Amino acid sequence: MEIALIGNPNTGKTSLFNNLTGSYEYVGNWSGVTVEKKVGVFKNNIGKLIDLPGVYTLNPLSKDEGVVTSFFLNESVDRLLNILDASQLERNLHLTLQLLEYEKPALIGLNMIDVANNRGIQIDASKLAKVLGVPVVPVVARSGKGCDKLVDVISTKSIQPANKHLVYYGKEVEEAISSFTGEIMGKTIHSSRFLAVQYFEGNQYVRNYVHSIANPQKIDEILNNLEDKLQARLNAKSLSNFIYAKRKEVIEKIVAEVANRNDSGLPLSEKIDGIVTNRFLGMPIFLLLMYLMFMLTFDWLGTPLSDSLDALLTGPVTTGFESVLSAIHASDFIHALIIEGLVAGVGGVLVFVPQIFILFFFISLLEDSGYMARVALVMDRIMESVGLNGKAFIPMMIGFGCNVPGIMAARTIETPRERLLTILLTPLMSCSARLPVYALFVGAFFAGHKAFVVLSLYVLGIVVALTLAKVFSKTLLKSETSLFVIELPPYRLPQFQSLWRSTWDKGKGFVRKAGTFIFAGSVFIWLLSYAGPDGLKVNMDHSYLALIGNTIAPIFNPIGFGTWQAAASLITGFLAKEAIISTMNIIYFVPNDASLQGLLAHYYTPLAAYSFMVFILLYIPCLATTATIYKETGSKKWTAFSMIYAFAIAYVLSLVIYQGGKLFGLM
């Protein structure tokens, strides 16, 4: 048995999926987390649960919403599980009425009843079930309350499709539905009423489907006649607005019948929003929270933990490997490969795992509490001024963890122009892979101002992205900015288990990459540093790696780091930004009684170090990000453009910073 889980964004759909299947999907307290369908198996093995993207309507506006409509048209499903937010019942029922017209066995999980109760809203679930004609089970998806009963109802074989049409669309529309049904009779397995109403609303996916099974001219004639009748008799603005109004009338009656509301003053969420989304206070509060997050990551918690791990890796771990290699009489080549290549390369990246996990923990805390949606609202005014809207800032925020899912999250943006613009700009957000580079350099050159320097880099990435958005929207991608609509979820106290799962889900990719990609890259980089035109075990300055680095090093002289070592690390940084650290640990290999940070002072000045970090922030996206840009845009031209413009911007800004700093006497 296959059951489709569907609901509005931010109704707890993914939390319910996790509870029912025992698996873990990323849970974010904003819209657009699920950008493609996910499949899990029920804990009691009664069937598969298909988690579809959150949508407000089956008439898709954005790419992710199109996944839902395509699913209903092209794939089979036995039952529908519609999750509703009890505190936002009126809005959620618009989708429910469309699902009931699909005429599949359905049931409803009435979620967030605790939030509704706290707001003074009481929902009569049994009365709602009677009105809709389908089972309704109250649940609290975050805690799992009511989920067992929901599974019991799902397991029942007697669930039938709703046997009544809740919305009467008026004589004209109902006659058109009958004519439409006559044209497609016997040509489809789907509900003719569902197809007709969606077709009349302008659903392009349904339109293409219907035209493939029936005579397009006759179907369009039915539509045109209906529009003429409504315009002549009722002076309706549009057919889609007329259908929406009819649904709204029914929904208002349902809500009045099943819900009671006791107004008890302004909810706490709205009181807090008055402060954190204030047009004057919102941005300073956001920057202050970011600063505190970086202080915890780089000063108060992260640095001591990373130093302890570094001492472990460079001390007992390295000594242990050397003892084993000596015991087995390993050759000089194998000894150098493992100690100078793998331990130095991979270990140099793993040192920063504590800081990565601390950063991800606090990002997850802000997400799960509901604050991140407020950040998008705060940014909307700024984003609108540069040709985007606040929704575009959500993929960018996700990009702080990793640019790849950030780019994929741009599917939630409705207009193709804004979606493309967001895809092009998201790689400018400072992802977690750049974090080890920052940690290394701020520890070496800016020990007293670590959090402030790192915050400046994150803010710089945002400022550059917004500036380029303004330029691109006025030149390459001209169009009107779309309206921004976002649902602000209630503030919630995050559960530790959920926070840990979210943190691990984000951080495990970093660890996995260190154990696979960085592992292989470290071997390759070390081999290039070990061999040269004169043979093996050459002086590193005469190695193949130095030869490659020296070829392009002069390009970087004007921006402060024209050494072959810096150039070589930038090349490997295209494969993965973490590889910059593993490359440096191999190139600047130091004995146990020294540190890489101390050695860097011989190759960089503080000004050159900041210029280098700015270049790392902005230059060519990594290989995985570049591949994702191509996948999402389907264009070699835009993919190449994303690489070229990023390199140019990085170079120009680093040049301004370095040469400008020298003019002011900074070094």
431 lies in the same domain as 535: yes
73 lies in the same domain as 40: yes
Helix ranges (DSSP H) in 110-186: 113-118, 125-132, 147-155, 171-184
Q: Are strands 79-85 and 2-7 parallel, antiparallel or unpaired?
A: parallel
Picking from 114, 131, 155, the residue at the C-terminal end of a domain is 155
* Alpha carbon distance 200, 632 (integer Å): 30
At residue 49's C-alpha, the angle toward residues 47 and 51, to 5°, is 170
Query: What is the tens place of the pLDDT at every residue in 45-90?
Result: 788 888 888 888 888 877 767 888 888 898 888 899 999 999 889 9
Picking from 155, 180, 208, the residue at the C-terminal end of a domain is 155
| Close Cβ partners of 171 (under 8 Å, ≥ 6 residues apart) | none
* Alpha carbon distance 612, 313 (integer Å): 26
Note whether residue 278 is domain-resident: no
Write down the pLDDT at residue 30.
40
Residue 191 has pLDDT above 80, yes or no: yes
At residue 208's C-alpha, the angle toward residues 204 and 214, to 5°, is 135
> 0.85 exceeded by the pTM?
no
By percentage, how much of the chain surpasses pLDDT 70?
A: 93
pLDDT level of residue 588 (50, 70, 90 thresholds)? confident
Angle between helices 435-445 and 579-587 (to 10 degrees): 50
Write down the pLDDT at residue 31.
43
Note whether residue 391 is domain-resident: yes
- Determine the average pLDDT of the residues in 475-483: 67
Number of domains in the chain: 3
Query: What is the tens place of the pLDDT at every residue in 239-275?
Result: 888 999 999 999 999 999 999 887 655 567 778 888 8
26 lies in the same domain as 108: yes
Note whether residue 510 is domain-resident: yes
Write down the pLDDT at residue 440.
92
- Determine the average pLDDT of the residues in 633-662: 95
Contact 269, 490 (CB under 8 A): yes
Residue 391 has pLDDT above 60, yes or no: yes
3-class secondary structure, 111: strand
pLDDT level of residue 24 (50, 70, 90 thresholds)? low
Query: What is the tens place of the pLDDT at every residue in 276-290?
Result: 988 889 999 999 999
Residue 265 CA to chain centroid, in angstroms?
Answer: 35
Write down the pLDDT at residue 475.
86
546 lies in the same domain as 432: yes
134 lies in the same domain as 180: no
CATH code assigned at 48: 3.40.50.300
- Residue 649's alpha-carbon distances to 387, 418, 618, 641, 642, in angstroms, are 20, 21, 7, 12, 11
623 lies in the same domain as 519: yes
178 lies in the same domain as 149: no
Residue 160 has which token pair? 């039938």
Picking from 212, 239, 266, the residue at the C-terminal end of a domain is 239
398 lies in the same domain as 543: yes
476 lies in the same domain as 331: yes
Note whether residue 6 is domain-resident: yes
Of 102 and 235, more confident: 102
Write down the pLDDT at residue 160.
66
Note whether residue 245 is domain-resident: no
Radius of gyration of the chain measured on its C-alpha atoms = 29
390 lies in the same domain as 517: yes
Contacts of range 162-167, beta carbons closer than 8 Å, 24 or more positions apart: 162/100, 162/103, 162/106, 162/132, 162/133, 162/134, 163/133, 164/133, 165/101, 165/193, 166/97, 166/100, 166/131, 166/132, 166/133, 166/250, 166/254, 167/97, 167/101, 167/246, 167/247, 167/250
195 lies in the same domain as 105: no
Write down the pLDDT at residue 32.
45
117 lies in the same domain as 232: no
Note whether residue 257 is domain-resident: no
Write down the pLDDT at residue 520.
87
Note whether residue 37 is domain-resident: yes
Secondary structure (DSSP) of 472-516: HHHTTT--PPPP-----PPP----HHHHHHHHHHHHHHHHHHHHT
Residue 431 has pLDDT above 50, yes or no: yes
Q: How many CB atoms lie within 10 A of CB 185?
A: 10
**Domain of 14?**
2-155
Note whether residue 305 is domain-resident: yes
36-40, 103-107, 304-308, 471-475: the lowest-pLDDT one:
36-40
CA contacts within 13 A on the Cβ side of 15: 28
